[in-house]
Structure 1
Amino acid sequence: MQTDLDQATSQLVSDFVSWGVKLTAFDGLEIPYRENLVLHHLGVEKFISGLHGTPNQAISELADQLQKLGASNQRFDTNASWSSAAWRAALLDIITPSPTTLNSNFKRDYKVSAKQATDRFYELSRQIENVKVQAIAHNIAYTVNTNFGDIEITINLSKPEKTTAEIEAAGRAKKIAYPPTVLDQYNEGFYGRLGAAARSTHRFIYEEIGGQTWGWHYSPYAYYSEHAIFVEMERQPMHITKQTFTNLLAWVDRYPHYFIGSNADLPIVGGSILSQEHFQGGRHTFAMMKAPVRQKIDLPQFESVSAGVLHWPMSVIKLSSHYQAELIDAAELVRQTWQGYSDPDLMINAYSNENEQQHTVTPIAWQEGGKYQLALVLRDNGRSTDFPDGIFHPHQAVQHIKQENIGLIEVMGLAILPGRLKNELADVADVLLGRRELRQIATKHQPWVKSLMTVGGCTPENVENRIQEAIGQVFIQVLSDAGVYKNTDQGREGFDRFIAQLH
């Protein structure tokens, strides 16, 4: 006997499956097949066939309703966030294009334009929750005007926090070496488990770059528009070479509306994953990319290349040319010269006491004004007794705000700050407004807050802006700490000595 509940559930399933047709994952011939997959996933046996599904309601809203039904049927552990996330991703996978279909659709769109291809792939990634739109919305993001342009600040609240029970369970769980890495293609379609993210809907666009197979996708927890990750599939460790510059420019040739950059390949100054070659890119213009040239550099051996030092807290040489080959050669000259260069008076040493390489670059490529642009940020991985975390790493005085590595995104002027700051900065506001005493907040913040108190003039209406502006200035100091040559007379003289070596 048909009931209203059966009718509502059947219509919900049909509406959800209709999205697969709209997303070009499959055609109408597959609708009954996909509906049966959803029914099995839900643990539902009663279904009214032949209903007309419409993709009028948002996928996320339909998935929410279906997830409630799955929970009531005990299809996943509602007390374990990983189980809930894995179940939901597998549900969305039913209406997601397969890797083959997706790549075929992308190539068809790319024949029209690179922008059409990325626009449609990005929208798909948002719809199927590969880009966690709802989670990203929890981030606190703003800009602060500084002497170096508009610096971007993000307090990262998007990644779900694990409960104590889940953390303890992960510690007890048997270690499984699959997928081999968190980056490669074996994550496509992976259901997930405790300690390993659900990737049922995860998809790559596959391309050949530099004679190697690469795949790219949009970051789940994006920090800027169309935040993309480009992964080399042979699982080679991160290593900055001349080929790196060649590959970066090949990518911006294919996607001229994107910047593409690489983290440095050393642990203190590099990114969080150095075990597999990968780049990051996207449709965003960072403050560093808009920074003016402070000082021109003469490179007579490269007639088509213009070069200069950027007005930026870190030490950046920007190269520009219409011609890739000469631009790559110029970049390699800078890299090789820097790799072997030392200036002990400024604590700059190419090699450690153990003869380990300490110099590398963070390279970023983009197109502007009809030319290829290649920025090389000089990095030094050295440590000392005074700076055990890294000589050119955020120093102790700013670690109450930012103590993590300064990677590619921060280098360009976007601070990614830890979620702990949300509550900690609320306490700071209370002190500035006289609602609590200085000694009642975290000790690590007290010297900074004491300096803010001397300025005075905080009101409930302006205290948030005051704190945001102060955070922006701290981040400028963070970048300055990570900069090899400081914006001082001594630092500029040291930079000049290095530039002289390029001749």
Structure 2
Amino acid sequence: MNQQPLSNQKIDATIAAFIQWHIDHEKVDPLDRIYLTNKLLELLKKKELSDPESSNELFHESSHLTMLDDLVEYAVEVELIEDSASARDVFGAKIMDVVTPRPSEVNNRFWQLYAKNQQLATNDFYTFSEESNYIKTREIAKNIEYTHPTEYGDLEITINLSKPEKDPKKIAAAKQTQYSYPVNALCMENEGYAGHESHAGRSNHRIIRLEVAGEPWGFQYSPYAYYNEHAIFLSEEHRGMNVGERAIKNLLDILTILPHYFVGSNAGLPIVGGSILSHDHYQGGQHTFALERAEMEETFQLKDLPQVKAGLVKWPMSVIRLSSKDQSAMEQAAKKVMETWDEYDDPSVDIQAYTGTTPHNAVTPIARMREDQFELDLVLRNNRTTQQYPDGLFHPHPEVQHIKKENIGLIEVMGLAILPPRLERELAEVKAFLMGEVETVDPIHQPWADTLKEPAENLSSEQIDLLIQQSVGDIFLKVLKDAGVFKRTEKGQSAFLDFVERLKTV
């Protein structure tokens, strides 16, 4: 009798161990063992399972995600799928879908737990999303993260290494085939969608259904989370971003459902939007950002709204904070601020609301509960471009774009830098330059590296790492200041107070 190939022997044990892990961790019912095993055999194009008892030793040595990797590797080895990141992602999601409950079951569990404790429900759903490998915990762990102290609080710096880089040839090929389903990466139709070369595998994706301000919405987590319980709230209706009166009502309503979360929206215009503008959605989660810790340095009273406290926040960008127990009054106060800002001009500080009929002023709103009150930060934005600043007047200026050129969205507004993966390699090169190991660096970094050369003299390797980190943190602070419409100067703050005076009269 011919001996089975090693890959078949191992995969049989892995299939059995994979199912056993989910049984032992009470993710699936023991009665479903045979059914689930057969589903995996079908997916892997295997006709039989031999010697499943050999899984016992394997089970004690491996996590379910390690076993998932082995199953995907087997699919590559026997040429069920091609050896590419996108094919592995799609197939891995299909494997996890076999042991992932259906959306109705996930929703039933969530709301049963919610009836006992709101935070228990979200904690459970988050853990579920990690264990189903929808949240890419191992990839997220690759990110480089540290904090940077400033006069505005500790900013958080992240070099994002979690998302796999896409093959340019695959991207070009995908562009030749246009798909209209799902409509975009944020719509409900992604739930359970298999995916393909240009669309991530979503077979194991599950969405919690919510009613927000009388409309059907969904709640999920980000696969590549930037902070704790990085949540996304998405409209069931296919419509573009609307960051106006309705958005404020939605944000505050979400807080009544999940008061332990913050929830915010990107601005609704390009450049300052920093996100997908084609689908109405918000981001939230259970994380305290530096902006939330920042204190108000000026307070004022809005006309006809005595129940709302208003003030200016000490922050590198221009932030108006509102707080009240009265949700309706908060909505009215936010409407006053946004409608006044929409039409506001101040040539003395280069603020121009329109170019012709094209609007430039927008708001990034962030809502949270502080004790028993609604708190809403309205970050004033403007996306105007000029000849001197073609990327945006209130956008990272050229001298900092070697570190951060991308749009400044909601997450960065709150003090968490999402820096591009190229920096891992480029900063290592800068370090080599500072240590005298190379004579030059990438031209985009050379002027900056030259300024660090003298401070780096006689420093150890670890001290140079710290020097570079501190300088990157200082640059991110400059990025936020560039994005601020009323600068942190005497002239800028005087202009901000002029805007407040206008607010008091409406």
TM-score when normalising by structure 1: 0.94
1:15 to 2, 14, 17: 17
Change (3 A) 1:367 1:312: same
Q: Which stretch of the first structure deviates more once superposed, 56-65 or 212-221?
A: 56-65
Equivalent pairs counted in the alignment come to: 498
1:149 to 149, 153, 165: 153
Alignment partner, residue 181 of structure 1: 184
Aligned Cα root-mean-square deviation (Å): 2.1
**Contact map agreement 2:260 2:286 (CA 8 A) in 1:** yes
Secondary structure of 2:339's counterpart equals helix
**Are positions 1:73 and 2:75 aligned together?**
no
**Contact map agreement 1:159 1:221 (CA 8 A) in 2:** yes
Q: Deviations over 1:142-168 (max 9, x none)?
A: 111111111001111111112344234
**Are positions 1:134 and 2:155 aligned together?**
no
Q: Deviations over 1:185-231 (max 9, x none)?
A: 11111111111111111110011111211111110111101101110
**Contact map agreement 1:42 1:73 (CA 8 A) in 2:** no
Alignment partner, residue 327 of structure 1: 330
TM-aligned CA deviation for residue 52 of structure 1: 11
2:406 to 404, 410, 413: 404
Alignment partner, residue 27 of structure 1: 29
**Contact map agreement 2:126 2:229 (CA 8 A) in 1:** yes
How do residues 466-477 of structure 1 correspond to structure 2 at under 5 angstroms? 466-477=467-478
**Contact map agreement 1:257 1:367 (CA 8 A) in 2:** yes
1:317 to 320, 329, 342: 320
**Contact map agreement 2:11 2:70 (CA 8 A) in 1:** no
TM-aligned CA deviation for residue 339 of structure 1: 0.7
**Contact map agreement 1:307 1:319 (CA 8 A) in 2:** yes
TM-aligned CA deviation for residue 128 of structure 1: 1.1
Aligned amino acid, residue 115 of structure 2: K
Secondary structure of 1:214's counterpart equals strand
* Identity level (%): 41
Alignment partner, residue 223 of structure 1: 226
Unpaired stretches in structure 1, ≥5 consecutive residues: none
TM-aligned CA deviation for residue 350 of structure 1: 1.2
Q: Deviations over 1:232-264 (max 9, x none)?
A: 010111111112111111111211111100000
How do residues 106-125 of structure 1 correspond to structure 2 at under 5 angstroms? 106-125=110-129
TM-aligned CA deviation for residue 170 of structure 1: 2.7
Matches of 1:115 and 1:2, distance apart in 2: 56
Q: Which stretch of the first structure deviates more once superposed, 28-37 or 131-140?
A: 28-37
Q: Deviations over 1:473-494 (max 9, x none)?
A: 1001100000000000000110
Secondary structure of 2:395's counterpart equals coil
Secondary structure of 1:473's counterpart equals helix
Q: Which stretch of the first structure deviates more once superposed, 232-241 or 398-407?
A: 232-241
Alignment partner, residue 494 of structure 2: 493
**Contact map agreement 1:296 1:308 (CA 8 A) in 2:** yes
**Are positions 1:192 and 2:170 aligned together?**
no
TM-aligned CA deviation for residue 436 of structure 1: 2.4
Alignment partner, residue 351 of structure 1: 354
Matches of 1:217 and 1:8, distance apart in 2: 35
Change (3 A) 1:430 1:326: same
Q: Deviations over 1:46-78 (max 9, x none)?
A: 225996988764210221222233233322112
Change (3 A) 1:59 1:2: farther
Matches of 1:99 and 1:493, distance apart in 2: 53
Aligned amino acid, residue 496 of structure 1: L
Secondary structure of 2:462's counterpart equals coil
Aligned amino acid, residue 83 of structure 1: A
How do residues 239-258 of structure 1 correspond to structure 2 at under 5 angstroms? 239-258=242-261
Aligned amino acid, residue 286 of structure 1: F
Secondary structure of 1:462's counterpart equals helix
Matches of 1:72 and 1:50, distance apart in 2: 21
How do residues 237-276 of structure 1 correspond to structure 2 at under 5 angstroms? 237-276=240-279
Aligned amino acid, residue 178 of structure 2: K
Matches of 2:500 and 2:171, distance apart in 1: 50
Q: Deviations over 1:15-43 (max 9, x none)?
A: 32244456766533322211110011122
TM-score when normalising by structure 2: 0.94
Aligned amino acid, residue 247 of structure 2: T
Q: Which stretch of the first structure deviates more once superposed, 388-397 or 297-306?
A: 297-306
TM-aligned CA deviation for residue 9 of structure 1: 4.4
Matches of 2:426 and 2:347, distance apart in 1: 39
Alignment partner, residue 302 of structure 2: 299
**Contact map agreement 2:207 2:220 (CA 8 A) in 1:** yes
Matches of 2:53 and 2:254, distance apart in 1: 45
Change (3 A) 1:374 1:467: same
Matches of 2:132 and 2:55, distance apart in 1: 18
Alignment partner, residue 212 of structure 1: 215
Matches of 2:65 and 2:373, distance apart in 1: 41
Matches of 1:244 and 1:399, distance apart in 2: 31
Alignment partner, residue 397 of structure 2: 395
TM-aligned CA deviation for residue 451 of structure 1: 2.1
**Are positions 1:449 and 2:449 aligned together?**
yes
